[in-house]
Amino acid sequence: MLLVDVSILNGKSGLRFVLLCKIKVSLSPLCSQGLFGVPELSGPAGFQMAQHQALREAEFLVHKACTHPPGAVTVETFDQLSDSLCRVADLADFIKVAHPDAAFREAAERTCVEIGTLVEILNTNVDLCQSLKNLLGNEAVLATLDSDTRRVAELFMFDFEISGIHLDESKRSKAVALNVKLLDLYHEFLNGSQLPNAIDKQVLPEHIRHCFSIDGNRVQIGGLHADSPNDLVREAAYKIFLYPNTSLLLCLDELLACRHELATLVGYESFSHRALKGTMAKTPGKIIRATSRDFKMMKEMKKKTHTTNPEVMPWDHAYLSSAIRTEMFNIDPSIYSPYFSLGACMEGLNRLFMQLLGVYFQAEQPKMGELWSEDVRKLVRFCPPSLYVLKQMGSCIYCFLCCQQAVVHETEGLLGYIYCDFFRRPDKPHQDCHFTIRGGRLREDGVYQLPVVVLMLSLPPPSGRTPSLLTPSMVENLFHEMGHAMHSMLGRTHYQHVTGTRCSTDFAEVPSILMEYFASDYRVLSQFARHYQTGEPLPENLVSRLCESKRACSAADTQLQIFYAALDQVYHGKPQYRSTTDILREVQEKFYGLPYVHDTAWQLRFSHLVGYGAKYYSYLMSRAVASMVWRQCFLQDPFSRVMGERYRREMLAHGGSKEPVLMVQGMLQKTPTIEDFVDALVLDLNANVKSPVL
């Protein structure tokens, strides 16, 4: 890739938590009508206008980059080009999945394809690349560049190289054709991975049919029903939902073959080697492994609850893990939810960020047409006097469906904007995710372009006089996504190409996973967790039980993630010339403790193969880093301003402008080894995230 890692490739069923590009069109200031304040986007046709405007500007910037003498302005022009295209692509990428109006979604989808195709063409533009070579090959000019500018120039060149710029004209054309073909395959696979499977209702026992959606004589099964207490429901859902789809199998085969052909065409041993260049892992061999110790406990639990089949099967994993935690620790979400109103949780985040970083949220009134749905609201700071008590507890029943939060630093002022689209609605994706709408950068007029992001969650809306009440897992997800948002807000880079979450994939999840540790610490929770009716604080023993419960079956959960990561690596390694299902069966037997189920193809529901191709291991790597940072820097004092400032200075501020290993080294004040990563994961399995006071 050249200018962007266009997140349109991620389609998002498993919507990528970190979207890496940004747009131009008139997003500054956010004050006019139209989505996100972009006047062109008052209707679906506006995407065509925004697209044409970005393409015209791209043409001008390409000419400027190719004709200007080499220097810092070369890198700045490349970054402006990236910004111009990416800002359109990212906004469209969000709207195509989040807007309730199909016309908007379709218009955004078309724009994604058009911008993505142009990017692939620019990736192999010889004249454009030559302007960068002229810069990097001129030692005298390079000596005048600061380290960030030089690194960004090298990253742009790296993007050219992995796109095949060094190839002859016919091979470059082939590389472009392969990339464009992959865009279509990604779209086909992502759409297919979300489609339900149907079966004649007579095939299912009558007493479980009501558990599924029935359309005439057909039963529609669109998920695994993994939390159902009925063993037969889980088994039926697993076998039907994962039943192989021949056309989708062919699509996946073609997708993997195209990726391998592209990787070898541009000089890599495999797509995995190409994808891991520039990451913390570096090569495919550094996959973290662990050993599961929990399946015996699951088997004992299944014997207690089921007599037909005492063996633990893949459809049992999630349910039995939850059952074990409930039995051992009495973790009933309904006990916790009254203490976790959404308003209280947002106030807790506000307090935490103020203590750690000197940053706070400030609600802003939206302009007409700025939001994308009728059920989207902005947080209104004024609350009727009759609700004053609720407001004081952060539990106002008027708490937002969506609000725009201005993020403000106590001395630096406004840092950026976060749109919080938090509540469930029809046709809205159920994944919790973070979207970058506009990345931060220093503009040519000396003004810093403020970042804009969206946090999308699937929380229960308020009802009557009852605020939105969150389960512990929802609280953890809220903190996780806010970690991404703050990474975007606090990444103060000169160039948008490396702003915020635009860093290596195996580092991008570190800030969000680190926030999960704060969400499990009683010292943090006690600052805001109050019963929404009585004001009673959350009892400390409930938090202690919750932390202990996370240890139950955590090894098996980690083993499952290792299986996913290993499968992703094998698929993107050297071709094996056998079916993806045969590969799945073999990898599952080697890396997972539960058997493969005949006539299933779980890989067809593994949508992360598109967005995280060869990088799914990133979750494990990021968790290991976050664990080390938490234990060394925040475990003794989760509110330490000294450590908070170091965290911003060493990790958040750089985005992708600094090698991720160097950022971790700066934070930990040591260079971690692969053994350190493994030890951190093992320590988590044994000790989890308890604070000393528990």
Question: H or E segment at 215?
Answer: strand 213-215
The single residue listed with the structure tokens 């949780």 is 345
With bands split at pLDDT 50, 70 and 90, how would you rate the model's confidence at 402? Answer: low
In this prediction the pTM is: 0.86
Digit-coded pLDDT (tens) for 112-132? 989 988 998 898 899 999 999
Output 324 or 260, whichever has higher pLDDT.
Answer: 260
| The pLDDT of residue 329 | 82
* Contact assessment for residue 500 and residue 439, using Cβ atoms and an 8 Å cutoff: yes
Count the neighbouring beta carbons within 10 Å of the beta carbon of residue 194.
Answer: 16
Q: Is 154 helix (H, G, I), strand (E, B) or coil?
A: helix
Please state which architecture CATH assigns to domain 35-166.
Up-down Bundle (1.20)
Residues assigned a catalytic role: 481
Evaluate if residue 220 carries a pLDDT over 90: yes
Report d(CA 345, CA 481) in Å as an integer. 13
Report d(CA 527, CA 538) in Å as an integer. 10
Which token pair is 187? 């779209």
The residues near 59 (Cβ < 8 Å, ≥ 6 apart) are none
The single residue listed with the structure tokens 């004053």 is 388
The single residue listed with the structure tokens 């994961």 is 681
Evaluate if residue 478 carries a pLDDT over 90: yes
| The pLDDT of residue 627 | 95
Pairing type for strands 402-409 and 413-423 reads: antiparallel
* Summary mean pLDDT of the chain: 85
Digit-coded pLDDT (tens) for 25-49? 334 444 457 999 888 899 999 999 9
Report d(CA 455, CA 477) in Å as an integer. 11
Question: H or E segment at 147?
Answer: helix 147-162
* Contact assessment for residue 415 and residue 438, using Cβ atoms and an 8 Å cutoff: no
* Contact assessment for residue 4 and residue 420, using Cβ atoms and an 8 Å cutoff: no
Evaluate if residue 484 carries a pLDDT over 80: yes
Pairing type for strands 213-215 and 218-221 reads: antiparallel
| The pLDDT of residue 16 | 25
Domain limits, the chain: 35-166
| The pLDDT of residue 463 | 87
Digit-coded pLDDT (tens) for 581-638? 999 999 999 988 899 999 999 999 999 999 899 999 988 999 999 999 999 999 999 9
Report d(CA 153, CA 20) in Å as an integer. 17
Report d(CA 354, CA 179) in Å as an integer. 44
| The pLDDT of residue 178 | 94
With bands split at pLDDT 50, 70 and 90, how would you rate the model's confidence at 3? Answer: very low
